[in-house]
Each structure stands twice: as structure tokens, then as C-alpha cells.
Amino acid sequence: MKQWDSVAIVGVGLIGGSIGLGLRDRGLARQVVGIARREASLRVAKRMGAVTKGTLDLARGVNGAELVVVCTPVARIAADARASAEVCRPGALITDVGSTKAEIVAALDGALSREVRFVGSHPLAGSEKSGPAAAAADLFVDRTVVVTPTRATREEDLASLDAFWTALGARVIRMSPEAHDRALAATSHLPHLAASALAASTPQGDLGLTASGWVDTTRVAAGDPELWQQIFMSNRANVLTALARYEKVLDSLRRCLEQGNKKKLTAILQEGKQKRDALAS
Amino acid sequence: MKQWDSVAIVGVGLIGGSIGLGLRDRGLARQVVGIARREASLRVAKRMGAVTKGTLDLARGVNGAELVVVCTPVARIAADARASAEVCRPGALITDVGSTKAEIVAALDGALSREVRFVGSHPLAGSEKSGPAAAAADLFVDRTVVVTPTRATREEDLASLDAFWTALGARVIRMSPEAHDRALAATSHLPHLAASALAASTPQGDLGLTASGWVDTTRVAAGDPELWQQIFMSNRANVLTALARYEKVLDSLRRCLEQGNKKKLTAILQEGKQKRDALAS
């Protein structure tokens, strides 16, 4: 397995911290440099062993890295990647871990100077928790990472990213940034929106009567509102399409209830069960 | 702790089987008789030790019981309780475990002959699984059981049910059947409807890109469509009210996305997070 000489992680939260831990646990990188905005994050990341070195200075942090992984919130990724490109070593590869891809890739694809290239990644792993303290070396094990090449992407960079994520335990698949955003609107962004709306619409006085159904269905609503606002805004057209599809099914269910249409109600529940049962967990 | 001489369980699925296991594990009943419609369920219940005796004959099954617990699907509970009342011993107490209460209690309250009384119960415990094979002796431990008295209910019967559920490890609270149904529409029935709609609205081709968010949010959609259709229909007015509240929040979210209103979008997500965070798990 390839050992990386130096990997820079810009933003050492849950995902950045987990990448660092994974790289160090598996002996995949000689040096992992964490770059953060706050000393406190660096302290936690260092104490956990997620980084070998930490700095608040982007230029110093990305300086010697072969690979820069931008793990900041979606709305900051393009700017952070561009800033990294200006101070990293010529020919370095930059990737990210953002939950949306089209907007970010469009801003960076083929747009960096000095032979620096950007290729987008999105690990389908995470948690409603955030921050480096929640990081885990095995966060990516058996998870899917979507890598989103374009026509400008070099095959060698794709191979590098494949090797990087695979070494962390993930399965890598390739999709266009646009196809990624369309699919993830349905499988990740809409579920989050639906869960948040469900939690928000529950009357305060009824919260004492929730059981496992409510608890499971609303789990992701505990996620960081600011991070998710950025994800929704970055993928709003696709989220709106997925939401319209969802509202249509809810509307059908409402009419079944109003009209006492048991047969159709059961059929819609059956369709949901069938799709749910297609998954093992 | 009181030992029951004989408890009859009508319907030995997940809940009925778990009651039997709990009673036997804790030495709470000398005899637990299971009544089912199918030999296969009785065989599983007997093999698991959930019942001491099993029969397909309701009259023989409830014959000697002090307490009859009706654990059949919501649409069958009133009829099964009425049939049990006609063949059980005079003065016996009947309860149920249905997810809705108003319709069932209205059909049975003070309506049984020979001093047989019905008081409704609803253990907020369960699973997307069903059948006696999924039963567990500790299913009710630290769970809430709502008992729904009316003006016709005797205090001694409430005390009996309190003792029964408490002995199985649950916390008992009392609510009117109507207040129960209003609250559970928001905390259990709507979440199920929302989860089923979410699963049903996910395009088949995108299912490979689901991650933990989708998995958690849709978990309950794996539940039995026929059982849930009955629950929704039995509580349709309250479910429609809760659904309207939900659709209103989704509509606000949709407008935030259309108008790029980040501030309001974040505020709604924040409200959902606040309600979700109020729970520990």
C-alpha cells in the first residue's frame, strides 16, 4: 500500500479528524498536517493523534503536502481550495469532502494555476455529531466515497484518490458532479430536510411521548443547522425536485386518509417497505 | 410483587410474545395462556417460553384468566376483546396494547357484561419487526406505557394495570384516550407516515447511494403495511392534523429554498435540532 509523504487536512472536524486518525492508525502517511481556524480544534486533533502537526496558517500547513483534503463547510470549500492552491507545492492534488459537488467542482475544475488540480470527493459517512472529538479512524470503513471527475480530470489523479479512500477502508465509485448532486438530493439532503421538519413540527408538549419511531426518524435533525443550510443552498434545484416528489407522496397519503382509501394507503406503505427492505441494515 | 395466577394473551406476535416472556422471566404469572389464529405462532411462542399453554380456541384460552391482554392488530382489538368478554370468567379485567385508543375504548368502555371491564393500554415499545420470534422479555423495560382510563374506570383496575406494566419494567402514565391519540399522532403515527413517504419517494436507481441518514430516517418504513394502515385509519382525524402541521413546515422550507432565504432556513433547522436535542438518545 502506498505511503503518502505528507497529507494536509484543511478543517479538522468530524470528517477531517477521522481522515487523520485513519491515515495514522493505518500507517498511510508519514506526516498529517492539520490546518484549522481555531486553536481549540487543533489541540483536540493533536491530543487524539489525528494530526502530526497543526497550524492556523494555511500557507505553512499545505506547503509540503502532496495531497490537500479540504474538509471545511460546503460554503467555504471552493475558497479554501483556491487559497490552498496558491500556496501549496506545484503539482499537488486537492480534493474535498463536501456533501454537494456541482457548484464546488465548477468553481475549481481546471481553474487552478501551477499544475495544481482539484478533483471532488464525497464520503457517504458522517454523523449528527460534529467536531474532531467525534472523529473515528474507522469512519470510512465499508462506506461509499463518490469521486466526481470531469473531462478535465487526469486518470492518474483519479487513481491517486481511489488509492487514498480505499486505503481508508472505503469503496470508491465515480459519478459526474451533477449526477452525484441529483442522487444525493434524494438519498441524503431530502431525508435531512424531512427529519428536521418532522422534529420542528412536533408540539413541544408531546415530546415526552416520543418512542423509538420518532427517535430514529428525527436523528439527523440534530445535525448542525448552519452546515446543512449551506448544503441545501448549494444543491437547491435538486433538493426542490426531491422535495416536490416527497410532497406528492404525502399528498397522496393525505387523500387516502381523507377518503378512507385503505387499499391505496396500504399500497403506498408497501412501496416504502419494499424500498426500505432492499437495504440490509 | 403480586403474582398473577393466570394471564391470557390474545395474539402472540412481537408485543404479546414479549409480555409472555417478561411475565415468565420475572416469575410474575403462574400460567400464561397464548391464544392465536395460527398453530405456527403458538409453536414459536411455546418454543421461546413466552406461554405455558397455547390454543387456537379463544373460549378455552381465556377461560381461567384474571387478566386478558388483547395484542391483535388495531382493527381487530374491539371485536377480540368483546369475544373474550363473553367467554372469560366473570369479573375479569381486559386490556389491550393497541397504538390507538379512542375508537377502541369507545367501543368497549362500560359495554361488557358479567362485570368484565376493559381499560386500554398502549406500551410505547415496539420495532419495525413483527412476530413472536422478535419478542424480548425486556421490551418494556424503561419504556412508557400509557393507560387510558375514562370516567367509568374503577380505581382498582387502574391499580392492577399499573402493577402489571410496572412489574414488566415500564413507567405507567395515565391519559384520556383522546389526549393519547392526539399526542401519538404527532410522536408516532406521523413519523411513520413521513418515513414511509420518504422511502416510497426515493427513486429506485438512487438506493445504492443511501447512507446512515436515509437508513435512520426510513427505519420504521419497514413495518407491516397492513398493521399501520389500520393505525392510521383508526386515528385519521389526528393524523391529518399532524400531517397538515408537517406539510406547513415543509412548505416553509420549500419557500426558503426557492427564495434563497438562508436565515429562515437555518432558523427552522435550529428549531428541529432544539426539539431533537431535548432527547438524550
Which residue shows C-alpha cell 389500520?
Answer: B230
Q: How much is the pLDDT for B279?
A: 83
Pick from B235, B275, B277 the residue to mutate for testing the A interface (most A CBs within 10 Å). B275
Say what percent of chain B tops pLDDT 70.
Answer: 99
Query: Would the pLDDT of A242 be above 60?
Result: yes
Pick from B217, B224, B228, B230 the residue to mutate for testing the A interface (most A CBs within 10 Å). B217
Q: Encode pLDDT of B55-103 as tens digits.
A: 999 999 999 999 999 999 999 999 999 999 999 999 999 999 999 999 9
Distances (CA, A) of A263 to A172, A267, B223, B233: 42, 6, 17, 11
Say yes or no for a CB contact (<8 Å) between B268 and A200: yes
Say yes or no for a CB contact (<8 Å) between B207 and A278: yes
- List strand residue ranges (DSSP E) for B56-149, in order: 67-70, 93-96, 117-118, 120-123, 144-148
Query: Phi/psi at B278 (nearest 5 deg)?
Result: -60, -20
Residue type, A7: V
Say yes or no for a CB contact (<8 Å) between B276 and A219: yes
Residues in chain B within 8 Å Cβ distance of A250: 193-194, 197, 243, 246-247, 250
Say yes or no for a CB contact (<8 Å) between A186 and B202: yes
Say yes or no for a CB contact (<8 Å) between A257 and B243: yes
Q: Which helix (H) or strand (E) holds B55?
A: strand B53-55
**What number is the average pLDDT over the span A216-226?**
96
Q: How much is the pLDDT for B129?
A: 78
C-alpha cell at A9: 487536512
Q: How confident is the model at residue A2 (pLDDT cuts 50, 70, 90)?
A: confident
**In Å, how far is B242's CA from the nearest CA of chain A?**
8
Q: Encode pLDDT of A163-197 as tens digits.
A: 999 999 999 999 999 999 999 999 999 999 999 99
- CA-wise closest residue to B69 among B17, B125, B133: B17
Note whether B107 and B126 are within 8 A (CB).
no
Mean pLDDT of chain A: 96
**In Å, how far is B90's CA from the nearest CA of chain A?**
34
Residues in chain B within 8 Å Cβ distance of A127: 212
Q: How confident is the model at residue B1 (pLDDT cuts 50, 70, 90)?
A: low
ipTM score of complex: 0.94
Say yes or no for a CB contact (<8 Å) between A200 and B271: yes
Query: Would the pLDDT of A281 be above 60?
Result: no
Say what percent of chain A tops pLDDT 90.
Answer: 93
**What number is the average pLDDT over the span B223-246?**
97
In chain B, which residue's Cα lies nearest the Cα of A232?
A: B257
Say yes or no for a CB contact (<8 Å) between B245 and A201: yes
Q: How much is the pLDDT for B69?
A: 98
Does B131 or A263 have the greater pLDDT score?
A263
**In Å, how far is B181's CA from the nearest CA of chain A?**
11
**What number is the average pLDDT over the span A81-107?**
97
Reported pTM = 0.94
**In Å, how far is A268's CA from the nearest CA of chain B?**
7
Chain A residues 206-265 with a CB less than 8 Å from chain B: 206-226, 228-229, 232-233, 236, 239-240, 242-243, 245-250, 253-254, 257-258, 260, 262, 265
**What number is the average pLDDT over the span B171-199?**
98
Say yes or no for a CB contact (<8 Å) between A273 and B143: no
Say yes or no for a CB contact (<8 Å) between B260 and A229: no
CB pairs under 8 A between A and B: 286
Q: Report the distance separating Cα A227 and Cα A238, nearest Å.
A: 17
Residue type, B207: L
Residues in chain A within 8 Å Cβ distance of B125: 211-212
Neighbours of B136 (CB within 10 A): 16
Query: Would the pLDDT of B280 be above 90?
Result: no
Query: Would the pLDDT of B146 be above 70?
Result: yes
Residues in chain B within 8 Å Cβ distance of A225: 266, 269-270, 273
**In Å, how far is B112's CA from the nearest CA of chain A?**
29
Q: Encode pLDDT of B34-54 as tens digits.
A: 999 999 999 999 999 999 999
Say yes or no for a CB contact (<8 Å) between B199 and A273: yes
Residue type, A168: L
- CA-wise closest residue to B24 among B4, B39, B43: B4
Q: How much is the pLDDT for B131?
A: 85
CB-neighbour burial class of residue A262 (10 A; exposed 0-12, middle 13-18, buried 19+)? middle
**Size (chain B), residues:** 281
Q: How confident is the model at residue B251 (pLDDT cuts 50, 70, 90)?
A: very high
Strand partners, B32: B7
Say yes or no for a CB contact (<8 Å) between B198 and A203: no
In chain B, which residue's Cα lies nearest the Cα of A257?
A: B236
**Does residue B113 belong to the interface with chain A, where contact is any CB pair within 8 Å?**
no
**Size (chain A), residues:** 281
Q: Identify which of B209, B250, B257 has the shortest CB distance to residue A232.
A: B257
Say yes or no for a CB contact (<8 Å) between B221 and A275: yes
Span between the terminal Cα atoms of chain A, in Å: 31
Q: How much is the pLDDT for A270?
A: 98
Q: Encode pLDDT of A108-156 as tens digits.
A: 998 998 899 999 999 999 777 788 889 999 999 999 999 999 999 999 9
Give the side-chain half-sphere CA count within 13 A for A24: 23
Say yes or no for a CB contact (<8 Å) between A197 and B268: yes
In chain B, which residue's Cα lies nearest the Cα of A124?
A: B211
Pick from B273, B277, B281 the residue to mutate for testing the A interface (most A CBs within 10 Å). B273
Q: Encode pLDDT of A41-69 as tens digits.
A: 999 999 999 999 999 999 999 999 999 99
Q: How much is the pLDDT for A279?
A: 83
Say yes or no for a CB contact (<8 Å) between B250 and A193: yes
Say yes or no for a CB contact (<8 Å) between A245 and B201: yes
